[in-house]
């Protein structure tokens, strides 16, 4: 095994200014958190992350069971916030829904809203869903009285960084995540 270091940015957003209510494209809707949706969040997370850079940084994201365990951990946390935890669903037929986006929110110990794993499945990207879902989570942080939010993003994930910058997030710190990688 060799130790590899992934460069990541912490990015922050002030929630004190007015936030625009996100508007999803036609055919899509937000689905609020409910405990019965834990497996749906896990599956949507898996489909969003399994072939992406973050599946190397956090190997559990590249594995269906790993995503399920991660979801269970997130929901058990003391600061878990249902108000900032959402799915996006797309209507594929009469009352049939394809879940295509997931995000979870936590209140951390310093009172920040912490974004967990924003993900949109590959077939639904580039339509503004990631931006809408992140703003939906920000509105949830605001509703429970939080005034700042943060997330961490891998430096190589340029598309995600562009999205965060466009929505007003700014880099506040660089961190390095050590990961053990099998030697080949
Ligand atoms: C990062 C991620 C969530 C973005 O989701 P998305 O739904 O594609 O995001 P958006 O559609 O809001 O924005 C992406 C691009 O589509 C463009 N876009 C937004 N609305 C659009 C619309 N209505 N029509 C066409 N394009 C649009 C945006 O301008 C943006 O372009 P850019 O890449 O040049 O900045 C998604 O790529 C993903 O899940 N990646 C894998 C998991 C991951 O890395 N998550 C981040 C962890 S930190």
> What is the full per-residue pLDDT of the chain (184 aa) written as tens digits?
889 999 999 999 999 988 889 999 999 999 999 999 999 999 999 999 999 999 999 999 999 999 999 999 999 999 999 999 999 999 998 889 999 999 999 999 999 999 999 999 999 999 999 999 999 999 999 999 999 999 999 999 999 999 999 999 999 999 999 998 877 6
Instruction: Return the closest-CA partner of residue 173 out of 159, 157, 152.
Output: 152
The whole-number pLDDT of residue 95 equals 83
The whole-number pLDDT of residue 181 equals 80
The whole-number pLDDT of residue 115 equals 98
The whole-number pLDDT of residue 6 equals 96
The whole-number pLDDT of residue 18 equals 85
Which atom belonging to ligand 1 lies closest to the Cα atom of 132? Answer: 12
69 ligand 1 Cβ < 6 A = no
The pTM is what? Answer: 0.95
| Gap between the Cα atoms of 66 and 53, Å rounded | 16
Instruction: Return the closest-CA partner of residue 30 out of 91, 76, 77.
Output: 91
Domains belonging to the chain, first-starting first, are: 2-181 (3.40.630.30)
Q: Which of 90, 125, 156, when mutated, tests ligand 1's pocket best, judged by the most ligand atoms within 8 Å of its CB? A: 125
Which atom belonging to ligand 1 lies closest to the Cα atom of 53? Answer: 44
The whole-number pLDDT of residue 184 equals 64
- Our measurement of the distance from residue 29's CA atom to the centroid of its chain's CA atoms, rounded to an integer in Å, reads 17
Look at phi and psi of residue 94 and say left if phi exceeds 0, alpha if psi is from -120 to 50, else beta: beta
130 alpha carbon to ligand 1 midpoint, in Å?
5
């Amino acid at each position: 095994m060799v130790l590899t270091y992934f460069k990541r940015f912490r990015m922050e957003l002030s929630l004190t200014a007015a936030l625009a209510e996100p508007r999803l494209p036609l055919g899509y809707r937000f689905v609020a958190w409910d405990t019965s949706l834990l497996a749906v969040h896990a599956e949507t997370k898996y489909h969003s992350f399994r072939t992406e850079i973050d599946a190397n940084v956090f190997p559990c994201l590249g594995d269906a069971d790993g995503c399920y365990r991660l979801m269970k951990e997130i929901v058990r946390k003391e600061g878990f916030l249902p108000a900032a935890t959402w799915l996006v669903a797309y209507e594929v037929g009469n009352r049939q829904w394809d879940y295509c986006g997931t995000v979870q929110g936590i209140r951390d110990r310093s009172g920040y809203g912490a974004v967990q794993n924003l993900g949109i499945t590959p077939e639904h990207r580039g339509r503004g869903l990631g931006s809408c879902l992140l703003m939906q989570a920000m509105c949830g942080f605001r509703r429970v009285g939080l005034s700042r939010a943060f997330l961490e993003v891998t430096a190589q994930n340029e598309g995600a960084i562009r999205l965060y910058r466009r929505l007003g997030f700014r880099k506040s710190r660089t961190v390095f995540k050590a990961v053990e990688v099998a030697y080949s």
